Amino acid sequence: ENNESEFTEEERAYQLMILTK
C-alpha cells in the first residue's frame, strides 16, 4: 500500500539529519 508521503525518502533522510544533529 503506497501512501502519499509528505516527504520523499531523500527529504526524510534530510529531516533525520536535522533531528539527530
pLDDT tens digits, residue range 4-19?
Answer: 767 699 999 999 999 9
Say whether pLDDT at 3 is over 90: no
CA pair distance 20, 14, nearest whole angstrom: 10
Cβ pair 8, 15 in contact under 8 A: no
- The residues, any chain, with a CB within 8 Å of residue 12's CB and separated by 6 or more, are 5
The pLDDT, as a whole number, for residue 21 is 76
- The model carries a pTM of 0.37
Question: By the 8 A CB rule, do 14 and 6 touch?
Answer: no
Q: Which region holds residue 4: left if phi is over 0, alpha if psi is between -120 and 50, else beta?
A: beta
| Cα–Cα distance, 10 to 21 (Å, whole number) | 17
